[in-house]
A and B are shown apart, each in its own frame.
Chain A
Amino acid sequence: MKLIEAIIKPFKLDEVKDALIELGVQGMTVTEVKGFGRQKGHKETYRGTEYQIDFVPKVKIECAVADDLEDKVIETIARASKTGSIGDGKIFVSDLSRIIRIRTGETGEGAV
């Protein structure tokens, strides 16, 4: 089992979600986050004073999947969230040691 975390541009969320549902992904957790990579931040101006805002708003999608779906999910997220310009985001993949469905107590891939 893998935990896939994708940091994407907020306006791409719906496209990514629809593509993942089509792929058969059962659920996901979405968080509004802030951060910066190569895109850095932007400037804001209030009454003539400029402020450098380092953290850019992004959306983080967390998605636990069975091993055989890993590559397809990564490819789908990358395809759906790509604009080709700087700041498209990143995908992090890590091994998931346990999953428990709280209602039934199921564990492992059956709980994904």
Chain B
Amino acid sequence: MKHVHYARISIWIVCLLLSVFIDPVWAQGPGAISAGDTAWVLTASALVLAMTIPGLAIFYGGMVRSKNILSTMMHSFIAVCLVSIIWVLWGYSLAFGTDIGGIIGSLDYIGLTGVGPEALSGLTIPHSAFMVFQLMFAGIAVALISGAMAERVKFSAFLVFAALWATFIYAPLAHWVWGGGWLGRLGDLDFAGGTVVHISSGVAALAAALVLGKRHGYGTDTIVPHNLPLTVVGASLLWVGWFGFNAGSALAADGLAAGAFVATHVATAAGALAWLVVEWSYRGKPTLLGAASGAVAGLVAITPAAGYVGPLSAIWIGLGGGGLCYMAILWKNYLGYDDALDVLGIHGIGGSWGAIATGLFASVGGGTGLFFGNPGQVLTQCIGVGATWMFSFIGTFLILKVVDLTIGLRVSKDEEVLGLDLSQHSERAYA
């Protein structure tokens, strides 16, 4: 029972560390707060939370075998909990604190010092509303990666990984693009996180699949989804929540938000249709899992472009997302890595396509792309995609290696065969 003692001691240490942070008393700021904008951004924050739990949790949960659904849902659930605390303590400051060399934020917002009800400069919402909106993004980014680790990662290892990844990969990337870092200054367009959330988590998933190795029986046993209705409900919830993600990224209840809302919706519909058509012609049958996956691919693809494109461009971006992501998932079988729930295929490839497509189709909201007379934007977008791929892949690879060498990433073969629900959590989904 040695590990129980370690757990107790860790809890005491965490409590002691937390006691250092004491809430200061906020002074009311002078900036003008808009009730409408604030209401929308707070609502959007809750919608983004609903994307992760229950949305992503059941989207992923239905796709694993019945012996692993609880552990899979646990990854999303606990990613939200853990990242929320990290974001408040130091994550937000690293991402949005005063810029240091274009690379990282300073520690001036540590423990949310100075992040209160006053309006954020240039915006009409409280600083704390912006902070909590961004918190939800960090949560879903970490949860997304868990799809590549499903059915074989050790729970304790996932916790350590999640904390390290949120700190050393997500926070710097968010800073590069949105926090005053070098990519944003270069003119990289990422309206709602196609690069920061989706490319970064998709590429991290590839690193995770490579470091963890294949699931036992992969390629020989029949490893198929155990509850697709759950997965489709999850995908549908992701669609609903994504309006918060994309339209909320306008950070105001205005025309830009409405435009992003419309673009998001039509791109998603187009993504589902594209996947279905490609799948139908390739395999002879259209599947509901395909339609749901295509919808998510469309959502991912439109994310960086949502505020920069009109509805017709959004259709093209969605169609490209659905078609390309289906092809990416077929390539996985040739390449042979076991990205269990296709995080790279959908979020990595869909996010990369969306980022480049933003450079092609941008025409409104302050962005201009190739098709509207600004060829340089495509190059900028490609730099953003390339830098994110490299940073996320190398960084995630190193983090995973460190975790593997210290506490071990993977459960034993016996535990894997038994299922993670029983071996990691001592509980079963279906009695």
Contacts and interface: CB of A to CB of B under 8 A. Distances in A.
The answer on A and B forming one complex is: yes
A75 interface: no
B284 to A, nearest CB: 8
B287 A49 contact: no
A47 interface: yes
A45 B283 contact: yes
Contacts of A52: 222
Given A45-B283, A45-B285, A52-B222, 17 more contacts: A44-B224, A45-B287, A46-B224, A46-B225, A46-B287, A46-B289, A47-B289, A47-B290, A47-B293, A47-B329, A48-B279, A48-B326, A48-B333, A49-B333, A50-B283, A51-B224, A53-B222
Contacts of B100: none
Interface string A46-78: 111111110000000000000000000000000
B282 A48 contact: yes
Contacts of A45: 283, 285, 287
Majority SS of interface residues in chain B? helix
Contacts of A44: 224
Interface in B47-93: none
Contacts of B418: none
Contacts of B402: none
B312 interface: no
Nearest to B221: A51
A36 to B, nearest CB: 14
Contact of A48 (B222, B225, B329): B329
B330 interface: yes
> Dominant SS at the A interface?
strand
A49 B225 CA distance: 12
B342 interface: yes
Contact of A51 (B222, B279, B287, B330): B222
Contacts of B222: 51-53
Nearest to A54: B222
Interface string B288-301: 01100100000000
Nearest to B341: A47
Interface of B: 222, 224-225, 279, 282-283, 285, 287, 289-290, 293, 326, 329-330, 333, 342
Interface in A10-64: 44-53
9 contacts: A44-B224, A45-B283, A45-B285, A45-B287, A46-B224, A46-B287, A48-B329, A50-B283, A52-B222
Contacts of B342: 47
Contacts of B290: 47
B324 to A, nearest CB: 13
A8 B326 CA distance: 38
Nearest to B342: A47
A48 B289 CA distance: 10
Query: 8 closest A-B pairs (Cβ-Cβ)?
Result: A48-B330, A51-B222, A47-B329, A45-B283, A48-B329, A46-B224, A51-B224, A46-B289
A92 to B, nearest CB: 28
A50 B329 CA distance: 13
Nearest to A53: B222
A49 B329 CA distance: 9
Contacts of B330: 48
B293 to A, nearest CB: 6
A103 B407 CA distance: 58
Nearest to B346: A47
B86 to A, nearest CB: 32
Contacts of A46: 224-225, 287, 289
A94 B124 CA distance: 82
A109 B60 CA distance: 55
B279 to A, nearest CB: 7
A49 B345 CA distance: 14
A100 B11 CA distance: 60
Contacts of B293: 47
Contacts of B224: 44, 46, 51
Determine which residue in B222, B289, B326 has the highest number of CB atoms from chain A within 10 A of its CB, and name it: B222
A50 B171 CA distance: 39
A8 B413 CA distance: 38
B404 to A, nearest CB: 28
Nearest to B223: A51
A53 B290 CA distance: 19
A50 to B, nearest CB: 7
A50 B285 CA distance: 11
Contacts of A51: 222, 224
Nearest to A55: B222
A49 B279 CA distance: 11
A50 B282 CA distance: 12
A47 B285 CA distance: 11
